[in-house]
Structure 1
Amino acid sequence: MRVVVAVDGRIGEDLARRLREEDADVRAVVAASAPAGAALDALSTPEAAELLAELSRADVLVVEGRPAALTAELVAACDRMSVRIVPVSSRSADLRLAASLGLTAHDPGAPAEEMLAPPVSIAPVAAARGRVITVWGASGAPGRTTLAIEVASALSTPTHRVALVDADSHAPSLALATGLADEGPGFAAACRQADRGALTVAELSRISSTLGELEVLTGLNRPGRWPELSHRRVAAALDACRSWVDDTVVDTAAPLERDEEIVSDLVDGPRRNAATLAAIESADVVLAVVAADPVGVSRFVRAWPDLRAAAGATPVRVVVNKIRAGALGVDARGQVRRTLERYTGVTDVAFVPWDARGTDAAMLAARPIAHVAPRSAVPTAVRRLVAESLAPREAGEGAATRHSLRRLARSA
């Protein structure tokens, strides 16, 4: 394990010695404030650029927990480089600072193996209180990612924490749509930690990115990494998210087929659609997105039985997106409503209008439509949907009990 130590004086030297005794590869021992300065301006001095390059090759940064050394810019830089930060301090103010950044501080005299060990989960999943809202849509481009972003933005308030998760194993696009880097930790990292039982609230806060008030777990930076999103890992990661935020909005892929389980000889082999199925099975509410055109409606109708089979007793709210007369003619809403009622039995449908100007402006700015064009018809319709179907509910034992009952109903 490659380690950079940023602790001043004899304490830093002693810490580096103890880490080497634990077979850690201590690559550098620098001043406590040096990494923070390099993260703020890597071009300020040649030494800063060299230190930042060394950090990019490290696994762990041990740094003093005082404000001048442990900064939000340093945490963001280390997250982009997949470097775990271990603050060291014994002052109560520094402990609070580390906690506010999603980190766990250690006493400078703590055993070296304790600092190198990954954080261990301390909160049982049964104590979780948050909801999981899964956004799904049939093949094509019905607007799953756009709706997921807008729903998360509408739910988020200063007192109601919301996370946005990209669990798409076929064509992840959340990072591209929001202008966030996808090279560092994201949902795949959360899944790996959950598989080891080491996914804590602090670790989720550390590996997530921020988009305004939203916490974001970006998706795979290469679709070929889909085996990392196994059913067990995704379900465990989403369960951990329940104790992290009040609502977790999950963007998924379209395919729901289980054919690969039939043709494969591997009983526990990877399934590419496992992430989508796990997200739907873990959900408290599923938002099923329909593209408001003949092809989109037809695809949704054909996929509806598979969605209902995967969702079980979980409520499914159908959202017709990009509604416009140009693609359907007169009374577009009435046509879609009658078609869905006839072929799927769905009578309660929400509509989101097509707004090319607002959508294009949001894509250009890599921000939610609600931030770029707050008067657009899209965020207005999404806010109405949230108020009618997704209004934040009370937290506590009743919510956890309802989720447990849904899971029992699906397994019955």
Structure 2
Amino acid sequence: MSIPVVTVGTAEEDVVGGLERLHGPVTVVRRCSELAELIAACQSGLAMAAVVAEGCRELTATLVDRLGAVGVSVVALTDDPEESRRLQSIGVVAAAPGINPSALADHISEAVGRVASIAGAHSGYGSAFSDPAAELTGVPAPADVEEGARGKGEIIAVWGPTGAPGRTLVAVNIAAELAADGKSVILVDADSYGASVSAVLGLLEESAGLAQACRLADQGLLDDRALESAASFVFTKGGAFRVLTGTTRADRWTELRAAALSTVLELARHAAEFVVVDTGFCLESDEELTFDTMTPRRNAATLRSLEMADLVLAVGAADPIGIPRLIRGLADLASVVPQALPRVVLNKVKQSTVGHSPRRQLEEAWERFGPGRAIDAYLPSDPAACELALLTGAVLLEAAPDSPLRHALAQLVCAPGQQKRNSLGRSTRALRFYKR
């Protein structure tokens, strides 16, 4: 079967003409005058491959991701070695402008086969654009990462429904506890509605580290050094960890594109043993709110973080309002990210809102109305410790090391020293939960 191809660029005549004369593996179905016309042709289902003979500097990870979502692979012609490396990092097949037409046809066939295989392997991804049925392409691992280091780190996504159940509190403090245990940690603030990690840690909000990293990733320019430059270091008595701060204004959510965030999280996974992501609350796909299928989605950062997570912590407030919200949220989570198997964490547990023997009361209510998934951890309410930590811009490990809440959070990460202090007695791989 011949592969339909669209092309763009005034320098295409020799190469494209050669493709047309092959009369074999590829068929040029349209010559476009500009990149926008090529994108429109690809989205209409006209082609399976796009050859960009001119204007390849306009290609970004987001654009390549979107074209891959409709089954179109991209081949760009450039004689700049630096540009060639950038294009390859965002999933483009790069070739020299004077390439033999037959060799170019082989490149096109290879690129089409790669997009098809990646789309099949990642068919669960669907959060980057307004088309909810789009199957997004996977993100290639950074070229400067050694093969032995691939997949080393774990991504822990901290999610919870609306109503401030304590997502940021949990994310910040488990990052601090992991760092205190000697682990290398990167904390990512991916909340596109109300990023607050920098405020909780007392960091200056002069720049958004995650947005900076995403911009570089979208251009194919993010590497280990750039990631380290975008991150802020937080030093505690127990250890240090890096933070990619969130957007300084809510209207900057468009900078958190799903394709770029995927690259950031993959590179962070290679650079640290644990990547802790503070996500937003909303799981809606926004398809009814947009008319341009190239428009990014505000909830893409949350959905993509959940899709890529090795572990999802679902945090809910332990009160008559928070429990029903969490139950409904877990149902929504199972619908939009079915591969996620969240661990349920009830926060702000106290007698005044639950009644006498709050844990028993919560267990009974959860057994009656819950989604059939057990509660994995209970975090006691400790407003005094939280207020002190917020006032001083510190984590509980420093502000209130003997706080019951801090001890409960330490049990979540199960550090050996913390296990001894809390008499846990045993541990699992990297993260375990306090069982009943």
Q: Which residue of 2 aligns with 1:306?
A: 332
Deviation at 1:341, TM superposition (A): 3.2
Matching of residues 3-402 of structure 1 within 5 Å? 122-124=143-145, 127-157=150-180, 159-212=182-235, 213-258=240-285, 260-342=286-368, 343-387=370-414, 391-392=429-430
C-alpha spacing 1:392/1:186, structure 2 compared with 1 (3 Å): same
Q: Which residue of 1 aligns with 2:56?
A: none
For 1:297 and 1:328, how far apart are their aligned partners in 2?
A: 11
For 1:391 and 1:368, how far apart are their aligned partners in 2?
A: 24
Task: Report how many aligned residue pairs link the two structures.
Answer: 278
Say if 1:125 and 1:243, in contact at 8 Å, map to a contact too: no
Deviation at 1:339, TM superposition (A): 2.7
C-alpha spacing 1:263/1:207, structure 2 compared with 1 (3 Å): closer
Unaligned 5+ segments in structure 1 are: 1-112, 394-412
Q: What percentage of aligned pairs have identical amino acids? A: 37
C-alpha spacing 1:191/1:221, structure 2 compared with 1 (3 Å): same
Give the AA of the match of 2:366: L
C-alpha spacing 1:254/1:185, structure 2 compared with 1 (3 Å): closer
Aligned-partner SS, 1:375: coil
More displaced stretch, 381-390 vs 285-294: 381-390
Deviation at 1:125, TM superposition (A): 8.9
Unaligned 5+ segments in structure 2 are: 1-80, 90-141, 415-425, 432-436
Give the AA of the match of 2:380: P
C-alpha spacing 1:223/1:392, structure 2 compared with 1 (3 Å): same
Q: Which residue of 2 aligns with 1:17?
A: none
Deviation at 1:268, TM superposition (A): 2.3
Moved over 3 A (4+): 388-391
Say if 2:345 and 2:375, in contact at 8 Å, map to a contact too: no
Deviation at 1:282, TM superposition (A): 0.8
Aligned-partner SS, 1:301: helix
Deviation at 1:159, TM superposition (A): 3.8
For 2:152 and 2:383, how far apart are their aligned partners in 1?
A: 37
1:33-85 per-position Cα deviation (integer Å, ceiling 9, x unaligned): xxxxxxxxxxxxxxxxxxxxxxxxxxxxxxxxxxxxxxxxxxxxxxxxxxxxx
Deviation at 1:390, TM superposition (A): 7.3
Give the AA of the match of 1:384: Q
Deviation at 1:266, TM superposition (A): 1.6
Give the AA of the match of 2:276: V
Deviation at 1:206, TM superposition (A): 1.3
Say if 1:155 and 1:392, in contact at 8 Å, map to a contact too: no
For 2:254 and 2:428, how far apart are their aligned partners in 1?
A: 32
Give the AA of the match of 1:314: A
For 2:320 and 2:222, how far apart are their aligned partners in 1?
A: 43
For 2:358 and 2:326, how far apart are their aligned partners in 1?
A: 16
Deviation at 1:158, TM superposition (A): 6.7
C-alpha spacing 1:295/1:322, structure 2 compared with 1 (3 Å): same
Q: What is the RMSD of the two structures over their aligned residues, measured on CA atoms?
A: 2.4
Give the AA of the match of 2:319: D
For 2:303 and 2:208, how far apart are their aligned partners in 1?
A: 23
TM-score norm. by structure 1 comes to: 0.63
Aligned-partner SS, 2:312: strand
Deviation at 1:352, TM superposition (A): 0.6
C-alpha spacing 1:367/1:202, structure 2 compared with 1 (3 Å): same
TM-score norm. by structure 2 comes to: 0.60
C-alpha spacing 1:125/1:312, structure 2 compared with 1 (3 Å): farther
1:319-372 per-position Cα deviation (integer Å, ceiling 9, x unaligned): 100100001112211222233333311114200101111111001001111111
For 1:328 and 1:159, how far apart are their aligned partners in 2?
A: 37
Say if 1:168 and 1:251, in contact at 8 Å, map to a contact too: yes
